[in-house]
Structure 1
């Protein structure tokens, strides 16, 4: 019964992850409560994930990565990127890989992509290159770079903790660097010479194509307030134009003078021209009820409207919802987005989906790209936001560049101390966190903002699930079943089987969930068939980080999904051959380097 109960919880957890009925951190919390309520783990075991060394190490690495990113230390190499990139996609991808891959070995790859995404977007704009040719390779090389060291990904840190718990010792910092380096080089060669032929070429990063990219022509219009209109003498707030008719007023023109946001308290007069976002049907309703005259959309000819907004005091730009954003799960109406950021959302791009209606009711997700219009000052403020990433060139310097050298020194110190065995990585990472704050690289409040709390809760929930699988005998039962099915397979084919099943599970679930569920099973199978358990630990660890086939399998893929203008199957077309190539080389490399 305990095996049945544990398996039921595992299956329900997987279903919740796939269908996203709840945020992953809430699903993980529900797992903890369910396991304790059913007696599958004790209360102490249920909360043990919060105090687990892997969880605390991952949390510390998030903070260290934020400290290095916040000082601009990563961005300082962008001049090398621009210098080495040249005009050909092969060379550009190679330059991106050489620069960002090694950085990702020591810094959280989400932070690396967040820094380089605007840089590459701006580079594409200047070189008239399609961002779709470079953003997916950026994501992939940071994933490959994360496989170079134990601290490169939270997955490796978690696998290290599980390995220690199972009696095979924690990983040292460079436990699998030889293996990771070979995989990185082969992956970079694939991305440099083969991927450019498979990558799509979508619209270029050019402000003049935004109306086409977001199909705004039918959603942005002008109307004039007629002398008989009942809007005369009212403010926009009192008129309820925006609330009642699902319209957003972007700009008010009076006697050739342009008035940008905020406009809520502006008194309307006869002859005022309003530029609004909304459906034509809504405008016709306003015309009948409020007495307006709809003007021809002449401003869209040759992109004049965009040029007008993007010069002077007004601007139009895309912003990305970051993975640790407080806006996730909220609607624009809930958070009073226009009042909070003094900018208007014109459209939302979610992967292949484009949302332009009833924007205030859409629940925001990680990876959404918002097309914003507003004063330049609003975008300057957004550049310091921890919730949104402006995709474009920075107008002002908001980074603590004077602290960049200190942040890099602290980061290197953490790595060197751990590599020499002077301190465990947990201790050196926490010491680095304290030094980041004491030296001013991070402010105390930024420490909490830097942590991916969804990942921390996910780890805290998965660790007791692994304990329950072990205590109930579920792990042993699954291992015995696999031994009965594949007992006649050679070690090479068993490693290949575990690589394949882990990759497929990772593409639809969290990579951390794949490690927790499959690593103990792989070890049991190895012990039963008298193979080297460390070989199976490594194959599961690497497979769990090899998420290239979907935009939802890994957070960096999600980050570049909408900005690159990709379709879902673009990732499968480029990522599946890479996953297959790595699957062919990982088992023989593990056998050669670590034995079977």
Structure 2
């Protein structure tokens, strides 16, 4: 576990850009037809957004927010050159947002999802416990046994993606990644392969919370305003999960060979 591989900032783009393009095409063609018509709710939201956008104060706040975002991205890309860790950059960005009154302290406080924070905080020691107690090894052995002794990279990728996707549908995507990462490292060690491919599969699978309104905060945030039901997420999200599985199985072993 000590030699955990490190991904480059833009390395995620190898799988992220194809998935983004395919996701846009899917939502513009198939996905939009699977989403129920919520014109009234959307029109009210659009009207409210237009009223806020006409305010000079709102425009200034938008400019500050975009500036902070771009600065944070630059600091994250050149983390080694600046010598400032990612979490410090995030805190600095949040402080600028509050100090410039782009967002008040109360709004910033209310925007925190404490249930997600507690869940992630609880999952981190659980992930450590999985690695140190041997539970991760046991689960990894079971996964490899289920895949078969002659399982190739495509089968392993599909299996890891599937397990991670199921977990991220019922818990935080960060927590799902924290839970699966040590298991992925053990699987890679057992197979004697570069763990990058398996860890990237965990990363992609943990982000694929499309078929559930509780898997990731953005899904939960639009649940009420969009007047959606749980079934709406399954109808629209599950087909894209299948597409994403296929893309992941094809691209990951090519970019990060086992």
TM-score, length basis structure 1: 0.39
Q: Distance in 2 between matches of 1:445 and 1:201?
A: 34
Query: For 1:60-71, what aligned pairs fall within 5 Å after superposition?
Result: none
CA separation of 1:586 and 1:444: change in aligned 2, threshold 3 A: same
* 2:40 maps to 1:205: yes
Q: Distance in 2 between matches of 1:550 and 1:453?
A: 20
* 2:177 maps to 1:493: no
CA contact (8 A) 2:72 2:89 kept: yes
Q: Distance in 1 between matches of 2:104 and 2:35?
A: 41
How big is the shift at 1:513?
2.8
What is the aligned partner in structure 1 of residue 208 from structure 2?
546
Query: For 1:221-232, what aligned pairs fall within 5 Å after superposition?
Result: none
CA contact (8 A) 1:552 1:558 kept: yes
Given candidates 561, 573, 578, the residue that maps to 2:240 is: 578
* 2:240 maps to 1:405: no
Indicate the SS of the match to 1:552: coil
How big is the shift at 1:586?
0.6
* 2:32 maps to 1:196: yes
CA contact (8 A) 1:491 1:531 kept: no
Q: Distance in 1 between matches of 2:27 and 2:124?
A: 35
Q: Distance in 2 between matches of 1:431 and 1:513?
A: 24
Task: State which structure, 1 or 2, has the greater radius of gyration over its C-alpha atoms.
Answer: 1
What is the aligned partner in structure 1 of residue 76 from structure 2?
418
Given candidates 100, 117, 120, the residue that maps to 1:456 is: 117
Q: Distance in 1 between matches of 2:74 and 2:115?
A: 29
* 2:3 maps to 1:183: no
* 2:171 maps to 1:509: yes
CA separation of 1:536 and 1:197: change in aligned 2, threshold 3 A: same
* 2:93 maps to 1:432: yes
CA separation of 1:552 and 1:489: change in aligned 2, threshold 3 A: same
Query: For 1:330-369, what aligned pairs fall within 5 Å after superposition?
Result: none
CA contact (8 A) 2:131 2:183 kept: no
Structure having the higher helix fraction is 2
Structure having the higher strand fraction is 1
What is the aligned partner in structure 2 of residue 149 from structure 1?
none
Gap regions ≥5 residues in structure 1: 1-164, 207-389
Query: For 1:248-287, what aligned pairs fall within 5 Å after superposition?
Result: none
CA contact (8 A) 2:137 2:186 kept: yes
Q: Distance in 1 between matches of 2:210 and 2:220?
A: 11
Indicate the SS of the match to 1:194: helix
How big is the shift at 1:166?
5.0
- How many aligned residue pairs are there? 249
Gap regions ≥5 residues in structure 2: none
Indicate the SS of the match to 1:550: coil
CA contact (8 A) 1:527 1:533 kept: yes
How big is the shift at 1:433?
2.5
Q: Deviations over 1:104-130 (max 9, x none)?
A: xxxxxxxxxxxxxxxxxxxxxxxxxxx
CA separation of 1:413 and 1:186: change in aligned 2, threshold 3 A: same
How big is the shift at 1:498?
0.6
Q: Distance in 1 between matches of 2:232 and 2:113?
A: 27
CA contact (8 A) 1:198 1:574 kept: yes
CA contact (8 A) 2:5 2:195 kept: no
CA separation of 1:559 and 1:521: change in aligned 2, threshold 3 A: same
> Which is further off, 440-449 or 474-483?
440-449
CA contact (8 A) 2:210 2:237 kept: yes
TM-score, length basis structure 2: 0.84
* 2:148 maps to 1:484: no
Q: Distance in 1 between matches of 2:170 and 2:154?
A: 25
What is the aligned partner in structure 2 of residue 393 from structure 1?
47
Q: Distance in 2 between matches of 1:399 and 1:179?
A: 38
Given candidates 119, 130, 133, the residue that maps to 1:472 is: 133
Q: Distance in 2 between matches of 1:595 and 1:451?
A: 39
Q: Distance in 2 between matches of 1:444 and 1:573?
A: 39
CA separation of 1:557 and 1:472: change in aligned 2, threshold 3 A: same
Q: Distance in 1 between matches of 2:56 and 2:97?
A: 18
What is the aligned partner in structure 2 of residue 556 from structure 1?
218
